[in-house]
Amino acid sequence: MATVVRTAFGGRHGDNVAELVEALRRDDPDVLSLVSEQPDELVGHIMFSRALLDAPRELVPVRSLSPLPVAPHWQRRGVGTALIREGLRQLDEQGVPLVFLEGDPAYYSRTGFTPAAEHGFRRPSLRIPEAGFQVVKLSSYEPWMTGTFVYSNTFWDLDLVGLRH
């Protein structure tokens, strides 16, 4: 698992994301972790971990999509898209109302993600570029669910929220 993370992200960021995978496994008993495998090879991995939406009425359990590494020689063959679609299907079945992420809108808009700010959601750090802060609403979503997206402590502990320069 760590290998696919390190080769997909590369360098020091790859090491940090590999650490995130281990920490989410340890810290989040509800984490949804899916892999795409070939007979002798792990080609892709996705995690959806616990997070919160700080809505006016109450805290809403939601999910964070991160990370999503696909092995470089398996990229552009639909692996990432299939992992996202299957994850969203399972979370919808579980009654999760919203899934948030930070990423490239050109890629994630293909699987239904839209800029979260357009729906009135607030990002958890001003260091997240507004266009990169995205959300998908699942069937349990209700209109009162507005407010600020809050990452689990794991992301803050590893300083993996937003971009640093």
Ligand X SMILES: CC(C)(COP(=O)(O)OP(=O)(O)OC[C@H]1O[C@@H](n2cnc3c(N)ncnc32)[C@H](O)[C@@H]1OP(=O)(O)O)[C@@H](O)C(=O)NCCC(=O)NCCS
Binding site for ligand X (CB under 6 A): 8-9, 66-70, 75-81, 103-104, 106-107
Q: What is the closest distance, in whole angstroms, from the C-beta atom of residue 67 to ligand X in the complex?
A: 5
Q: Report which of 11, 9, 121, 14 is spatially closest to residue 64, judged by C-alpha positions.
A: 121
The token duo for 35 is 């892999």
Q: What is the closest distance, in whole angstroms, from the C-beta atom of residue 124 to ligand X in the complex?
A: 16
61 versus 72: smaller Cβ distance to ligand X: 72
26 versus 110: smaller Cβ distance to ligand X: 110
Helix pair angle (11-27, 2-9), 10° resolution: 140
104 versus 142: smaller Cβ distance to ligand X: 104
139 versus 159: smaller Cβ distance to ligand X: 159
Q: What is the closest distance, in whole angstroms, from the C-beta atom of residue 56 to ligand X in the complex?
A: 30
Q: How far apart are CA 32 and CA 54, in angstroms?
A: 22
In the complex, residue closest to ligand X by CB: 80
In this structure, the number of other CB atoms found within 10 A of the CB of residue 137 comes to 17
Question: Residue 80: in which H helix or E strand, if any?
Answer: helix 79-93
Q: What is the closest distance, in whole angstroms, from the C-beta atom of residue 87 to ligand X in the complex?
A: 12
CB–CB of 49/66 below 8 Å? yes
Q: How far apart are CA 13 and CA 74, in angstroms?
A: 20
